[in-house]
């Protein structure tokens, strides 16, 4: 059987054009554009294969979204402080939501060593193993693992090294959430964050800060550099997090980072881009019109040509909305906006040889999108040519 998507606005790597798209054996087998598409028959290669047709007239056909950074799985596991749900239930329920947001490849962001119970060694290793087992047995989307390693968590290094060496993870970011730099440059901001999120008082937070600073002073940066080299050899992309200056971005690059996630200033984003790094910004920042931490506006970085990738960060439904907002506001043409959450992300993660764009021969990971009062609304989601979500409510 083959599938034909007929008459949609195909969002291609270099333009948007009306056409037909054919899927066979899980791959995009043929694309017909404009006048050619209008005269197309329902048969491919004149054989007798049964054809199923989806009418996409008046709708958009985009590559499935690739979300490199999203920690929303944590809210599914722990929707309220101290309230943990079974990991398998939480993961399955979270995955069910992704196709309706147009996400076909999710890099679940799992943090190691940031102070919360969810980010401790025990739960992280359980989640990693759960995702690995689940995606081999049953998975609606491509579930991948983005390990976020807090470099001051010295005891966690052997876990990270093992995961990288054995190719267990798919993406690695090196984080430094310590006072006085990154997103906590402002004096007292780290302390306020910890008190709010961990429910500790000023005396307890001082002890936390003292202990963190002591551990950070012991970080072996040369060992982290070798970790970056090992990841590169295993085909695992490495990113930095919250670079707050060109100097910091350069240090991250020297550690092996090829992606700069959420640079704090435009100057930093521009430097990282000039050095050949991919710059990743948050879709919620685009949708809301600014950073919740009063840092760099994602739209400013995009307008300046200093951002290449959109991720959902903590809010999966923002990803598709951000793409259309960038197009509607004239910041980028739709095909370029879509590439920020598909082809560019695939290139950064080194998977663009088999997915990330509507290209003949690539995996048929794609979405059909309608507009409801200008809001993008996913009608169909396909993963490897299989329909995993459909909606006829609008």
**For residue 212, pLDDT beyond 80:** no
What is the per-residue pLDDT across 66-81, written as a single tens digit (0 to 9) for each? 999 999 999 999 888 7
Superfamily of domain 64-349 in CATH is: Metal-dependent hydrolases (3.20.20.140)
Higher pLDDT: 213 or 247? It is: 247
**For residue 213, pLDDT beyond 90:** no
Q: 65: helix, coil or strand? A: strand
What is the per-residue pLDDT across 61-120, written as a single tens digit (0 to 9) for each? 999 999 999 999 999 998 887 889 999 999 999 999 999 999 999 999 999 986 556 677
What CATH number does the domain located at 2-62+357-390 have?
Answer: 2.30.40.10
- The arithmetic mean of pLDDT across residues 189-215, rounded, is 72
265 neighbors 282 (Cβ within 8 angstroms): no
**Exposed/middle/buried for 389, CB within 10 Å: 0-12, 13-18, 19+?**
buried
Residue 46: band (very low, low, confident or very high) from pLDDT cuts 50, 70, 90 = very low
Where in the chain is CATH 3.20.20.140? Answer: 64-349
User: What's the confidence (pLDDT) of residue 44?
Assistant: 47
- The arithmetic mean of pLDDT across residues 291-296, rounded, is 83
**For residue 189, pLDDT beyond 90:** no
Closest of 160, 152, 220 to residue 181, by C-alpha = 152
Where in the chain is CATH 2.30.40.10? Answer: 2-62+357-390
Q: Are strands 259-261 and 278-282 parallel, antiparallel or unpaired?
A: parallel
């Amino acid at each position: 059987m083959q599938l034909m998507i007929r008459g949609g606005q195909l969002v291609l790597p270099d333009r948007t054009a009306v056409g037909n798209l054919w899927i066979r054996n899980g791959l995009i087998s043929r694309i017909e554009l404009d006048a050619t598409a209008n005269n197309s028959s329902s048969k491919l290669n004149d054989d007798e294969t049964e054809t199923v047709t989806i009418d996409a007239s008046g709708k958009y056909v985009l590559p499935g979204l690739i979300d490199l950074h999203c920690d929303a799985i944590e809210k599914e596991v722990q929707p309220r402080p101290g309230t943990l749900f079974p990991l398998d239930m939480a993961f399955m329920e979270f995955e069910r939501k992704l196709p309706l947001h147009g996400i076909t490849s999710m890099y679940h962001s799992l943090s190691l060593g940031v102070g919360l119970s969810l980010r401790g060694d025990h739960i992280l290793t359980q989640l990693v193993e759960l995702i690995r087992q689940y995606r081999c047995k049953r998975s609606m989307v491509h579930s991948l693992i983005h390990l976020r390693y807090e470099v001051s968590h010295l005891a966690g290094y052997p876990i990270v090294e093992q995961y990288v060496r054995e190719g267990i993870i798919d993406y690695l970011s090196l984080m430094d959430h310590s006072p006085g730099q990154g997103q906590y440059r402002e004096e007292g901001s780290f302390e306020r964050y910890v008190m709010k999120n961990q429910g500790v008082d000023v005396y307890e937070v001082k002890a936390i800060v003292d202990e963190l600073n002591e551990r950070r002073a012991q970080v072996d940066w040369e060992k982290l550099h070798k970790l970056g080299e090992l990841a590169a050899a295993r085909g695992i992309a490495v990113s930095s997090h919250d670079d707050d200056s060109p100097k910091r971005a350069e240090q991250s690059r020297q550690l092996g980072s090829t992606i700069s996630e959420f640079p704090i200033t435009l100057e930093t984003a521009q430097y990282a881009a000039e050095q050949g790094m991919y710059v990743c910004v948050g879709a919620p920042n685009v949708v809301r019109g600014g950073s919740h931490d009063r840092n760099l506006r994602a739209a400013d970085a995009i307008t300046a040509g200093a951002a290449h990738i959109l991720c959902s960060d903590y809010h999966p439904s923002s990803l598709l909305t951000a793409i259309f907002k960038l197009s509607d506001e004239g910041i980028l043409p739709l095909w370029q906006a879509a590439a920020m959450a598909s082809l560019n992300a695939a290139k950064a993660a080194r998977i663009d040889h088999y997915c990330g764009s509507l290209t003949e021969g690539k995996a048929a990971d794609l979405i059909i999108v309608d507009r409801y009062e200008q809001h993008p609304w996913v009608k169909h989601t396909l993963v490897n040519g299989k329909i995993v979500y459909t909606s006829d409510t609008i």
